[in-house]
C-alpha cells in the first residue's frame, strides 16, 4: 500500500508499523474514579470490527517517526486521508 504522508509525500507502507483503531487515542482520563475500571476495559479490549471505512494508527518507524491517522477502507484498501496523529489527538481533546 502507499501511505501519503502529510509532510513527506507518498511512502510505501513497508516503512510503517500498524497499531490499530483510533479508538486507542481515547484513553480514559478518569482513573481516580471507581467506574473507570469499566472504561479502561472498553478502551483496551472492545472494538468494532469494521468492514468498510476505518480510522487507524500507523507509525512511520522507517521514516520520521511520526504517528499518523490513516482513513482506509478495510475492504478495498482505498486510503482517503492521512493526518498527523498529534493534530487529531488535539482535536479530540488530548491536549492540556
Partner 1 sequence: MSQTNRKDGGLINKDKTLTFTFNGQILRGYEGDTLASALLANNQQLVGRSFKYHRPRGIVTVGSEEPNAIMEIGSGAYKEPNTRATVTQLYNGLEANSQNHRGPLSFDLMAITDFFSPMLGAGFYYKTFMWPKAFWEKLYEPAIRNSAGLGTLSTEPDPDTYDKGFRYCDILIIGAGASGLSAALTAASSGAKVILADEDFLMGGRLNSEKTKVDDIAGSEWAKNAVDQLSAMDNVTLMSDTTIFGVYDHGIYGALENRSSESRADSKKPRQVNWRIYAKRSILCAGAIERSIAFGNNDRPGIMLAGAVRAYMNRFAVATGKKVSVYTNNDDGWQTAKDLRSKGVNVVAVIDSRSISPVMGIQGAEIFMGTDVVDSKGRRALKSIKLSNGKSIDTDSLAVSGGWNPNLHLTCHHRGIPKWNEDIASFVPDDKAPPGMSVAGRAKGTMVLNDAIKEAHDLGSSVAEELGFKASDLEPATTPAVAYNVVANWGVPSGKNRAWVDFQNDVTAKDVKLANQEGFKSVEHVKRYTTLGMATDQGKTANVLGIGIMAENMGQTMQETGTTIFRPPYNPVAVGAFAGRRRGMEFYPTRYTPSHKWSEEQGAVFVEVGMWYRSQWFPQPGETHWRQSVDREVIQTRSSVGICDVTTLGKIDIKGSDVSEFLNKVYVNAFAKLPVGKTRYGLMLREDGMAMDDGTTARLSEDHFVMTTTTANAVSVYRHLQFCHQVLWPDLDVHMISVTEQYAQYAVAGPNSRKLLEKIVDSKHDISNEGFPFMAAGEISVCGGVPARLFRISFSGELAYEIAVPTRYGDSLMRAMMEAGEEFNVVPYGTEALGVMRIEKGHAAGPELNGQTSAYDLGMGGMVSGKKDFIGYKLGLREELQRSDRMQMVGFKPVNKSDLVEKGFSMAGSHLLGLREKPTTENDQGWISSSIYSPMLGCYIGLGFIKDGLNRKGEFVRAVDLVRGSDIEVEICSPHFYDPEGGRLRV
By the rule CB under 8 A, 79 interacts with partner 1: yes
Q: Least separation, in Å, of the C-beta of 4 and partner 1?
A: 9
CB of 52 to partner 1, least distance (A): 15
Shortest Cβ distance from residue 7 to partner 1 (Å)?
13
What's the half-sphere exposure (Cβ side, CA atoms, 13 Å) at 51? 0
In this complex, which beta carbon is closest to partner 1, that of residue 53 or of residue 89?
89
Rounded CA separation 53/17 (Å): 19
- How many angstroms from the chain centroid is the CA of residue 96? 20
Amino acid at each position: 500500500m502507499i501511505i501519503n504522508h502529510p509532510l513527506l509525500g507518498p511512502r510505501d507502507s513497508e516503512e510503517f508499523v500498524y497499531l490499530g483503531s483510533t479508538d486507542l487515542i481515547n484513553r480514559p482520563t478518569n482513573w481516580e474514579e471507581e467506574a473507570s475500571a469499566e472504561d479502561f476495559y472498553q478502551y483496551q479490549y472492545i472494538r468494532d470490527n469494521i468492514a468498510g471505512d476505518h480510522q487507524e494508527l500507523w507509525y512511520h518507524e522507517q521514516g520520521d517517526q511520526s504517528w499518523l491517522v490513516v482513513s482506509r477502507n478495510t475492504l478495498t484498501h482505498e486510503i482517503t486521508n492521512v493526518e498527523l496523529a498529534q493534530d487529531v489527538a488535539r482535536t479530540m481533546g488530548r491536549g492540556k
